[in-house]
Amino acid sequence: MSTFKAKVFVTLKPSILDPQGRTVERALSHLDHGNVGGVRVGKYIELTLSGTREAVETQLRDITENVLSNPVMEDARWELSEA
């Protein structure tokens, strides 16, 4: 039984228009950062879980795919480390 820290990253799928990212990109360009492109705005979620690594990984996969992200329009990945 250990405690783990998870970092979950959720981004819109590449095929989905990201108006927030586009707006930030345009703003950066107006601020003389015209060389910046490909801006995508996503979400970063932190969680702490306790249990065996195997159980926690299964649970985290479920949480990430079924609650924290919407697979219709988002991609999600996670990193897990012992706290």
Report the nearest approach of another protein to the CB of residue 59 (Å): 15
Read out DSSP for 14-42? TTS--HHHHHHHHHHHHTT-TT-------
Please select the residue that binds another protein; options are 4, 8, 11, 12, rule is CB under 8 A. Answer: 12
68 touches another protein (CB under 8 A): yes
Q: Which is nearer to another protein, 17 or 31 (CB)?
A: 17
Q: Tokens 């609650």 belong to which residue?
A: 67
Question: In sequence order, what are the residues at sequence separation of 6 or more whose Cβ sits closer than 8 angstroms to the Cβ of residue 65?
Answer: 71, 76
Instruction: Give me the residues that bind another protein (CB under 8 A), please.
Output: 12, 16-17, 19-20, 23, 67-68, 70, 72-73
